[in-house]
Amino acid sequence: MKRNILPGFGLSLGYTMFYLSVVVLLPLGALLIQPLDLGWAKFWKVATSGRALAAYGVSFSTALTAAAINFFVGLLASWVLVRYRFPGRRILDALVDFPFALPTAVAGVCFATLYAPNGWLGDWLESHGVHIINTTTGITVALVFIGFPFVVRTLMPVLADFEKEAEEASQSLGATRWQTFLRVIFPALFPALVTGFTLAFSRGVGEYGSVIFIAGNLPFKTEIAPLVIMAKLDQFDYAGAAAVAAVLLLFSFLMLILLNLLQAWATREPSR
């Protein structure tokens, strides 16, 4: 009789469901139930107030822009780290995980110091008319930093396992390097890229610590949705904070579904 290392199916499933319920389902349930205290009319008023709508726009637009930048930059970085061997490669590979290890508040302070008008880069940028502090550009820079590892770490294993025989076959049939990349390599990497993009986007929508130090937090201009939630919590408006958070959760959930459907379509496409 074959014995499993882990406990039986019933016990393993029970523990898994209990863990997911405590860590995921219960907090989400509390988040969705809390706004019910407001009633539908007041919930709609809070969730669609001018300040909240402006904050949604800032959060989603900057997160989407940062994820799109990481989509391309992450692909390039992954390609270099996987396909080439050069001095300092291991150090660069380790630095990819730096945003994971660095507290977000520390990252925010670093960005504020670096891009301030009297900072190392801020002084030079300001002299050329480029403003980073207190702008959506600064928010995007912070979100690119915290989202970069998601794309790279999702893509690198797929790129490392890609069979080079397919590339050689393509080149032997007369395809150029660019044609080989677009028609052979990129379709195989696209599902992983979509996954990394989704993770970076979702992370950026909810980011708080690294953004508030560089955004300026100006209502209707550079205020992010998580800051609106914190402001309501500071006023002990728990139901109002939950209403704004529920909208963020809904939009993020819909985006995840859309991107996962796109990933599933991309996975099936080569087999047709």
Which tokens belong to 69?
């930048």
CA dist 133 and 145 (Å) reads 15
Judge whether residue 180 has pLDDT over 90: no
* DSSP letters for 100-155: HHS-HHHHHHHHHHHHSTTSTTHHHHHHTT---TTSHHHHHHHHHHHHHHHHHHHH
Give per-residue pLDDT as tens, 117-162.
Answer: 888 888 888 888 888 888 899 999 999 999 999 999 999 999 888 8
Hey, what amino acid is at 262?
A: L
pLDDT at 91: 92
Calpha distance 242→61 (Å, rounded): 21
Average of per-residue pLDDT across 40-57:
89
CA distance 261 to 259: 5
DSSP 34: G
Secondary-structure breakdown of the chain: helix, strand, coil percentages, each rounded to the nearest 5: 80, 0, 20
Task: In whole angstroms, give the CA distance from residue 42 to residue 96.
Answer: 44
What's the confidence (pLDDT) of residue 20? 83
Give the C-alpha separation, 243 to 44, whole Å: 8
Cα 259 to chain center, whole Å?
13
Residues listed for the chain: 272
pLDDT averaged over the chain?
Answer: 84
Of 62, 68, 59, nearest to 193 by C-alpha is 68
103 three-state secondary structure: coil
Whole-angstrom distance, CA of residue 224 vs CA of residue 206: 9
Phi/psi at 268 (5° precision): -80, -25
Give the integer Cα–Cα distance in Å for 170 and 179. Answer: 9
What pLDDT sits at residue 271?
45
What residue type is assigned to position 97 of the chain?
D
- Res. 3: pLDDT tops 80: no
- The pLDDT of residue 199 is 87
**pLDDT grade for 164, boundaries at 50, 70 and 90:** confident
pLDDT band of 6, cuts 50, 70, 90: low
pTM comes to: 0.83
pLDDT in tens, 215-229: 888 888 999 999 999
241-266 average pLDDT score:
80
Q: What is the tens place of the pLDDT at every residue in 68-97?
A: 999 999 999 999 999 888 898 899 999 999
d(CA 52, CA 136): 16
Lowest mean pLDDT among 20-34, 91-105, 156-170: 20-34
CATH topology for the 37-271 domain: MetI-like fold (1.10.3720)
